[in-house]
Amino acid sequence: MIPYFSIIIPAHNEEKYLQKTIDSIKAQTLQDYETIIVTNGCTDKTEEIAKKNNDHKFRLLSLSKPNVSVARNAGALNAQGELLLFLDADTQLSSTSLEKIKEKFTEQYAVATTKAKPDLPLLSYRLALGFKNFYNSFKIYQGCSGALICRKKDFHQVKGYNPEITLREHRKLTLQLRQLGKYRYINTAVITSMRRYQEWGLLKALTFWLRQWVKDKKGTLKESSYETIR
């Protein structure tokens, strides 16, 4: 039976996070899905973890080189579902997320994201993601929470992710999909890792993303200037 959702998870050295993400998928109230985990250039136990969960709902694709956009495209090429949900390996779904996405992602929409919550309860993290939720919900920016939703036919029509872009790659795809329909913010929470904020501190992280946003607006953003993740 063909599933309604294809959940695609790119995973580069995600041994600390992947199992929790998998468990959140297994706990969904709507079980009409397949999950494709695309390991890319892993040097830790990520692939081992993916193999342990390999069953009729979970499949593993293994790529030799790290590239998050190539990994997502590979997952989409192997997807059977009508709806694609690109989920970061450090991002957990709420138990009713698939159910709510199916209900709210109607035909007039071509791309959507969800509400984001931090995996740690610090006020500064809640404020940072609260700001992100604000500009996504009011469509000021139309960004991504760590979960991006689109239809498989639309994804292939716009030729998917640009393999040369591995930073703000969701934004590029969203702008392409917006030519086919509206953007939607779906009020179901995903819980996402705050590891970048922990490593850098809130001010440095926010400054970094602001600079990337400016570079993107100027058309000068090329490659990521921090280590590969996802």
pLDDT at 230 over 60: no
What's the whole-number mean pLDDT along residues 5-19?
98
Nearest CA to 188 out of 90, 114, 83 is that of 114
What's the whole-number mean pLDDT along residues 130-137?
93
From CA 22, how far away is CA 133, in angstroms rounded? 24
Sign of CA dihedral 144, 146, 177, 225: positive
Q: Tokens 């069953």: give the residue.
A: 55
Q: What is the pLDDT of residue 222?
A: 57
Q: 167 vs 77, which has greater pLDDT? A: 77
Q: What is the pLDDT of residue 108?
A: 98
Q: What is the pTM of this model?
A: 0.91
Q: What is the pLDDT of residue 221?
A: 58
Give the start-to-end residue ranges of the domains of the chain.
5-218
Q: Write the CB contacts of 85 (distance below 8 Å, at least 6 apart in sequence).
A: 5, 6, 7, 8, 98, 101, 147, 148, 149
Nearest CA to 101 out of 195, 26, 33 is that of 33
pLDDT at 40 over 50: yes
Percent above pLDDT 90 for the chain: 79
Q: What is the pLDDT of residue 168?
A: 84
Please give the mean pLDDT across all residues of the chain: 92
Indicate the range of 61-70, 128-137, 191-200, 208-217 predicted with least confidence: 208-217
Q: Write the CB contacts of 207 (distance below 8 Å, at least 6 apart in sequence).
A: none
Q: Which CATH class is domain 5-218?
A: alpha beta
From CA 47, how far away is CA 13, in angstroms rounded? 9
pLDDT tens string 108-131: 999 999 999 999 999 989 998 999
Q: 195 vs 202, which has greater pLDDT? A: 195
